[in-house]
């Protein structure tokens, strides 16, 4: 998990900026009478207020299908990664890291936070590290997908020596090997997580919650690690089967 940059934007030198003006856009939901009244009010201010009408209805640019595992998700000044899309009955959710769910209640699909993606409904951290987020709209359906759009159709526990792949919103797609099971990691400040999958896959801040998988089988969610993808290091993953049992959801 990493804080999103909040650098102030600056105007390019040599370009003039028109200040203290207001632009108003009316869509098809604004009737003729209301639009006429709006224009009449704006006319009192001359060039300081510009009014225009556009065809269609303005709406948030929500994705029209399930986001792939590893996609960036934003909320509360943080960026994490989506793990796996799951469902309980006909209700779609996604899994991410518990420390992300602890920090963020409302998630957005873009850095500008104009499209609500979902709301955290449960999380477990520390001890374990998984969270459940309910999608904000019915357009988010399964199956879950990971790197390259490959469908993830089931879940399992990994074994030592298994070749695995992870995907994160910072580092992208990386492969490696499971080097240990049932690992315990102390992240400091009393935040101890146990039962983790240990790997030699690299990761970086912002990858938290992203998927670990083998072929079409879901294995884990990125919890934390050391090093980076320039110099290597170890990454620890929360077994996804524990999250599925805890929340009564399933993949596929």
Q: pLDDT for 49-82, tens place per residue? A: 787 877 665 544 444 455 788 999 999 989 999 9
Closest CA to 78 of 130, 169, 168, 3: 3
Tokens 């986001």 sit on residue: 67
Across 76-155, the runs of DSSP E, i.e. the strands, are: 78-81, 85-88, 91-96, 106-108, 116-124, 130-135, 144-145, 151-152, 154-155
**At residue 142, does pLDDT exceed 70?**
no
CATH classification of the domain holding 179: 2.40.10.10
Same-domain status, 47 and 65: no
Which of the pair, 136 or 138, is modelled with greater confidence? Answer: 136
Between CA 131 and CA 249 the distance in angstroms is: 12
Average pLDDT, whole number, for the chain?
83
Same-domain status, 32 and 85: no
Q: Which pLDDT value is given to residue 23?
A: 72
Q: Out of 135, 161, 184, pick the residue that ends a domain.
A: 135
**At residue 10, does pLDDT exceed 50?**
no
**At residue 183, does pLDDT exceed 90?**
yes
Assigned domain for 14 exists: no
- What integer is the mean pLDDT of 122-144? 82
Tokens of 228: 């980076």
Same-domain status, 149 and 236: yes
Q: Which pLDDT value is given to residue 59?
A: 43
Same-domain status, 129 and 152: no
Q: Which pLDDT value is given to residue 3?
A: 32
Assigned domain for 2 exists: no
Q: Out of 135, 161, 188, pick the residue that ends a domain.
A: 135
Q: In this predicted model, what pLDDT tens digit does every residue of 184-220 receive, in sequence order?
A: 999 999 999 999 999 999 999 999 999 999 999 999 9
**At residue 24, does pLDDT exceed 80?**
no
Least confident of 139-148, 153-162, 177-186: 139-148
Between CA 218 and CA 106 the distance in angstroms is: 25
Same-domain status, 178 and 215: yes
- What integer is the mean pLDDT of 103-120? 90
Residues forming the active site: 99, 129, 208
* Residue range of the domain that includes 82: 61-135
Same-domain status, 151 and 211: yes
């Amino acid at each position: 998990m990493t804080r999103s940059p909040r650098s102030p934007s600056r105007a390019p030198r040599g370009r003039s900026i028109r200040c203290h003006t207001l632009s108003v856009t009316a869509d098809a939901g604004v009737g003729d009478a209301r639009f006429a009244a709006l224009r009449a009010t704006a006319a009192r201010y001359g060039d300081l207020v510009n009014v225009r009408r556009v065809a269609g209805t303005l709406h948030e640019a929500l994705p029209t299908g399930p986001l792939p595992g590893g996609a960036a998700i934003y909320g509360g000044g943080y960026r994490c990664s989506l793990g796996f899309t799951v469902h309980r009955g006909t209700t779609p959710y996604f899994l991410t890291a518990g420390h992300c769910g602890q920090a963020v209640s409302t998630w957005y699909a873009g850095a500008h936070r104009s499209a609500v993606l979902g709301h955290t409904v449960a999380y477990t951290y520390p001890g374990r590290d998984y969270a459940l987020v309910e999608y904000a709209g019915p357009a988010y359906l399964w199956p879950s997908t990971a790197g390259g759009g490959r469908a993830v159709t089931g879940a399992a526990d990994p074994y030592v020596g298994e070749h695995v792949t992870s995907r994160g919103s910072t580092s992208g797609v990386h492969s490696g090997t499971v080097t240990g099971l049932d690992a315990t990691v102390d992240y400091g400040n009393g935040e101890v997580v146990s039962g983790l999958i240990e790997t030699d896959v690299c990761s970086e801040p912002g990858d938290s919650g992203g998927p670990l998988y083998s072929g079409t089988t879901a294995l884990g969610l990125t919890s934390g690690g050391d090093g980076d993808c320039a110099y290597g290091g170890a990454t620890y993953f929360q077994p996804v089967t524990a999250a599925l049992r805890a929340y009564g959801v399933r993949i596929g």
